[in-house]
Chain A
């Protein structure tokens, strides 16, 4: 009799345990039934009646709610704070809309981009990142999404977008404009990050971080062929805007205060020659000159074959490399 008692005791424990498990699974079951996305926790987000204006299209934030949750929130987060569930796996990180700092702008550094700037970014995607080309959306859908991302930062309530910079008509490419562009590339020390041949391997390239302290690489001009893109476009006009307005949130500064408009075009022409595998007028003119960029003869002595620091520093040994 006595020996049976422990058995009964153990049996009771088993019974209780199994009963507990059954109950637990039973109660927990509803928690698994979260297939529909709208059952999840509602973010404490006010859907402000933001608008966007692209040409004759008016975008409305409210209309983009489901598109944002379906296509954008996975990376950019329900709250637009770049904390979507995929964000940890991404490099570079998705844009944080709560800071309203945007890479691709036609406006000066520190200002809000225009609606067209944001619309164009959605349309073209961002090369070398996980932001795809959203060409499956209608124009209206894209305009609505532009309006939607404005709900995440109070800056859009108070500030207007910056004025787009003026881009003068592009002068013809000549070997002189390329030579002058090369001088500017040296003088303005673009090579410190982008490297003497534009391969993204300059002396500072290994230490660069974005505004959130994540490592970031400078653009490698030598990669890519005829279809090569930059983060913010692929035309000569786009290159002009990229270095004049800067890529906000990254180490790439604005040069709008330090480069004259026509000089800027010369720099564009030289940058195109760094894309050695691209077929374009710049490389054609360079080939016609037997691939040699002559020294630019205007105000400064000939730039050395290997880029040196600013002319005033020519005396210092080592040349900063």
Chain B
């Protein structure tokens, strides 16, 4: 009886340990060099969008923050994650507003539901230029219901609207739920990582990819920074 109890306790501890001893990888994404100047967008051909922006927005190929920080970098566990195949039940949403994509880069799990919403008073066509997944192209006039889609293979998919050529974004279809997109100060955080060896990949649409190997042993926060070399043009 006693041995049984001890065994049960040990089992519970083992099961819980993966949750209790969860590590975190966090860090900053920065750049060196001089990034290309982002051009202001002329939305004159689409007055309903132009009037939504007090100052003209620029294109978002390279978005930088204070002290050389780099935004819109997708940082994710590219190998070692234990959640492959766990598709989140809630959908991710991609919004077209003011003739821009919100967010500019939308990460999602393979086979996760993707909802595309048109909040504008103009028609958009959503044209994700998938190469590994199926390429489709749908019109979404104002006031029509969201488009529901999903992708069954990991891929960084360039998304554009042919009617408004300045509109450009990305779907980051990943095989993991451990991902983040660097924000204002270039910060990212990958929490809830059980002990193990991981490869972390940082992807930027213009500057390419970088990887780092990190081992998590218990409840700890490991720092991993990424520095990209800016392209001047």
Verify B139–A110 contact, CB threshold 8 A.
no
With A192-B123, A309-B122, A318-B47 as known contacts, state yes or no: A258 contacts B139, CB within 8 Å. yes
Q: Using Cβ atoms and an 8 Å threshold, which residues of chain B touch A258?
A: 139-141, 144
For chain B, residues 124 to 147, give those with C-beta under 8 angstroms from any C-beta of chain A.
125-127, 129, 131, 134-144, 147
Q: How large is the interface on B (under 10, 10 to 19, 20 to 34, 35 or more residues)?
A: 20 to 34
- Closest residue of chain A to B149 (Cβ to Cβ) is A110
Verify A254–B139 contact, CB threshold 8 A.
yes
For chain A, residues 290 to 321, give those with C-beta under 8 angstroms from any C-beta of chain B.
309-310, 312-313, 316-320
With A203-B45, A310-B141 as known contacts, state yes or no: A249 contacts B135, CB within 8 Å. yes
Docked complex Cα distance between A312 and B119 (Å): 12
Q: Using Cβ atoms and an 8 Å threshold, which residues of chain B touch A316?
A: 47-48, 51, 121
Q: Which of A211, A257, A313, A320 contacts B45 (CB 8 A)?
A: A320
- By DSSP majority rule, is chain A's interface helix, strand, loop, or mixed? loop
B40 to chain A, nearest CB (A): 17
Selecting from B1-9, B107-115, B159-167, B191-199, the interface stretch reads B159-167
Verify A251–B138 contact, CB threshold 8 A.
no
Complex interface bits, A74-100 against B, C-beta within 8 A gives 1, otherwise 0: 000000000000000000000000010
A208 close to chain B: CB less than 8 A = yes
Verify B165–A207 contact, CB threshold 8 A.
yes
Q: Which of B45, B46, B127, B143 contacts A253 (CB 8 A)?
A: B127
A106 close to chain B: CB less than 8 A = no
Q: Using Cβ atoms and an 8 Å threshold, which residues of chain B touch A144?
A: none
- By DSSP majority rule, is chain B's interface helix, strand, loop, or mixed? loop
Docked complex Cα distance between A211 and B126 (Å): 13
Q: Which of A204, A209, A254 contacts B164 (CB 8 A)?
A: A204
With A189-B141, A204-B162 as known contacts, state yes or no: A253 contacts B122, CB within 8 Å. no
Q: How large is the interface on A (under 10, 10 to 19, 20 to 34, 35 or more residues)?
A: 35 or more
Q: Using Cβ atoms and an 8 Å threshold, which residues of chain B touch A211?
A: 127, 129, 135
Verify A309–B121 contact, CB threshold 8 A.
yes
A252 close to chain B: CB less than 8 A = yes
For chain B, residues 150 to 179, give those with C-beta under 8 angstroms from any C-beta of chain A.
162-165
A124 close to chain B: CB less than 8 A = no
Q: Using Cβ atoms and an 8 Å threshold, which residues of chain A touch B127?
A: 211, 251, 253
Verify B163–A312 contact, CB threshold 8 A.
no
Verify B51–A257 contact, CB threshold 8 A.
no
Complex interface bits, A170-209 against B, C-beta within 8 A gives 1, otherwise 0: 0000000000000000011100110000000001100111
A156 close to chain B: CB less than 8 A = no
Verify B121–A192 contact, CB threshold 8 A.
no
Verify A101–B122 contact, CB threshold 8 A.
no
Q: Which of A99, A110, A312 contacts B121 (CB 8 A)?
A: A312
B126 to chain A, nearest CB (A): 8
Complex interface bits, A205-219 against B, C-beta within 8 A gives 1, otherwise 0: 001110100000000
Residue from B126, B129, B138, B144 with most neighbouring chain A CB atoms (10 Å):
B138
Closest 4 CB pairs of A and B: A110-B136, A251-B162, A253-B125, A207-B165
Q: List 19 A-B contacts (CB under 8 A).
A: A108-B136, A109-B136, A192-B163, A193-B163, A203-B45, A204-B164, A208-B162, A209-B162, A211-B135, A246-B136, A246-B138, A248-B137, A249-B135, A253-B137, A258-B139, A258-B140, A258-B144, A317-B47, A318-B47
Interface residues in chain A, defined as those with a beta carbon under 8 Å from any beta carbon in chain B: 99, 101, 108-111, 187-189, 192-193, 203-204, 207-209, 211, 246, 248-255, 257-258, 309-310, 312-313, 316-320
Known: A317-B47, A320-B48. 16 other contacts (CB 8 A): A108-B136, A109-B137, A109-B138, A110-B136, A187-B141, A188-B123, A189-B163, A204-B165, A207-B165, A246-B138, A251-B137, A253-B126, A255-B139, A309-B47, A309-B121, A313-B48
